[in-house]
Each structure stands twice: as structure tokens, then as C-alpha cells.
């Protein structure tokens, strides 16, 4: 029989409700998984502190396709049905106004609609633009990758992986490969590590291919 009063139980339940705890989280507490209750008691007794992980990264270094990927890689210029050499750079220039990105606030969007399981890359691109969100591109990609190279287990990418993120695509910068195809950058988990790559827009995309953006408010 519990030694706690009914009032105490109700008070605790009300507090969980107010903080929007999920049923799964209550089960984790009730079963003391990973000694979460033990740790909580240490905090309450002043014997430990909760240190919130930081997901913020500076986003101030420009990305050069030729330097990072290789010769003859460029930023796509002009319309999607052009040759990629003439016109303005096909990128979301609003990324330049983001000195710091908080990756806890980043949206990972598939742009699938209704019961769709696939969307063509160029259509996904159009839907991304239509959303009005800031599409993250080369600068965001580079900041994540360099942070991972420097900090590994303590990097933002590893913190995101612990939250279930294993792939990130960057629709804010459209690239032209040496063969004239349109591509976007990506970061993905392979085994126990993160890797970088690129993916062609002239292909089908499914729910495994979320692109990163920020609300434009």
C-alpha cells in the first residue's frame, strides 16, 4: 500500500498534466528507466545539476562547391530547365541573415501530401519554396559538418541522432554537378558515423528524405 496521500498523488498528476508529459514519458518515470528517477532525486537534493544540451551553431562560413566537393561543381544558376550557368544563383539567400542556427527549432519536412509516398525532387523543391520557410543550404550544411569533425560525440549532429534524426537534406542550395544535373547536399548516418553526400533532384523522394528549414517569422 502506498505511503503517499491521495492529495499528493493528485498534485503530482496535475503537475504532469500541466507540463504536457506523455504517457510514454510517465511510463519511463514509473519504471525508473535509465535511473531517471534516481537522477531526479539527486537534482532535488542539490547533489546534481541538469545541463541542457546546446543545439546552436554559428552559420557564418560560405560554402564553395568546388572547394568542398571538387572541380566543375558549381551553384546552379537560372531556372531549373536551363543549363545551370546563366542567371542568378538558385539558393535561399535568407540563409545569409542567420548568423546562428538553433537546430532544436529546425523543421525536417518531407513535403509529401495526403497519402503520397513519393514526390519528384523538383516538385518537392517547389513545395519547399511555397511553404515560405527558410530553406537551409550550404552554410548550414558546412557548419554542421565542421562541428561534427571537431567534436564528434559532442557535436550537434550526434545530439540530433540521439533524438532520432539520421538524414538531413539541404534544399536551400541547388548545385550543378559536372554532368549538368541538379543536386542538393545531404548528411546521413552510416553505421556509427555521419557522412556527407548529395542527391539528385531529378529523382523520386520519399519520407526518408527530409529537408531542413526554419519558420520565416
At 217 the pLDDT is: 72
Q: 35 Cβ partners below 8 Å, 6+ apart?
A: none
pLDDT at 41 exceeding the cut of 80: yes
Judgement on whether residues 35 and 68 belong to the same structural domain of the protein: no
At 42 the pLDDT is: 87
Residue ranges making up the domain that contains 28: 6-44
Assigned domain for 177 exists: yes
Give the CA distances from residue 137 to residues 51, 60, 79, 163, 198, in Å, rounded to whole numbers and listed in that order.
30, 12, 18, 22, 12
Assigned domain for 70 exists: yes
Element (H, E) at 44: helix 36-44
pLDDT in tens, 51-65: 768 899 999 999 999
Judgement on whether residues 198 and 160 belong to the same structural domain of the protein: yes
C-alpha cell at 184: 542538393
C-alpha cell at 83: 543549363
How many independent structural domains does the chain possess? Answer: 2
At 9 the pLDDT is: 85
At 1 the pLDDT is: 63
Regarding predicted confidence, which is higher, 29 or 87?
87
Assigned domain for 200 exists: yes
Judgement on whether residues 27 and 60 belong to the same structural domain of the protein: no
Judgement on whether residues 81 and 158 belong to the same structural domain of the protein: yes
Amino acid at each position: 500500500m502506498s505511503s503517499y496521500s491521495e492529495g499528493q498523488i493528485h498534485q503530482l498528476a496535475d503537475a504532469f498534466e500541466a507540463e504536457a508529459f506523455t504517457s510514454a514519458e510517465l511510463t519511463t518515470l514509473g519504471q525508473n528507466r535509465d535511473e531517471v528517477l534516481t537522477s531526479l532525486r539527486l537534482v532535488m537534493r542539490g547533489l546534481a545539476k541538469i545541463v541542457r544540451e546546446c543545439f546552436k551553431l554559428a552559420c557564418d562560413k560560405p560554402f564553395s562547391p568546388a572547394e568542398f566537393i571538387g572541380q566543375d561543381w558549381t551553384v546552379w544558376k537560372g531556372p531549373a530547365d536551363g543549363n545551370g550557368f546563366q542567371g542568378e544563383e538558385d539558393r535561399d539567400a535568407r540563409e545569409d541573415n542567420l548568423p546562428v542556427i538553433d537546430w532544436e527549432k529546425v523543421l525536417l519536412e518531407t513535403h509529401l501530401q495526403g497519402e503520397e509516398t513519393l514526390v519528384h525532387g523538383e516538385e518537392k523543391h517547389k513545395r519547399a519554396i511555397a511553404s515560405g520557410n527558410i530553406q537551409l543550404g550550404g552554410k548550414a550544411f558546412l557548419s554542421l559538418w565542421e562541428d561534427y569533425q571537431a567534436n564528434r560525440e559532442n557535436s550537434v549532429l550526434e545530439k540530433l541522432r540521439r533524438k532520432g534524426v539520421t538524414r538531413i537534406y539541404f534544399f536551400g542550395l541547388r548545385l550543378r554537378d559536372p554532368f549538368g544535373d541538379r543536386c542538393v547536399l545531404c548528411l546521413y548516418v552510416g553505421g556509427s558515423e555521419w557522412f556527407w553526400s548529395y542527391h539528385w533532384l531529378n529523382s523520386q523522394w520519399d519520407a526518408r528524405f527530409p529537408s531542413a528549414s526554419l519558420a520565416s517569422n
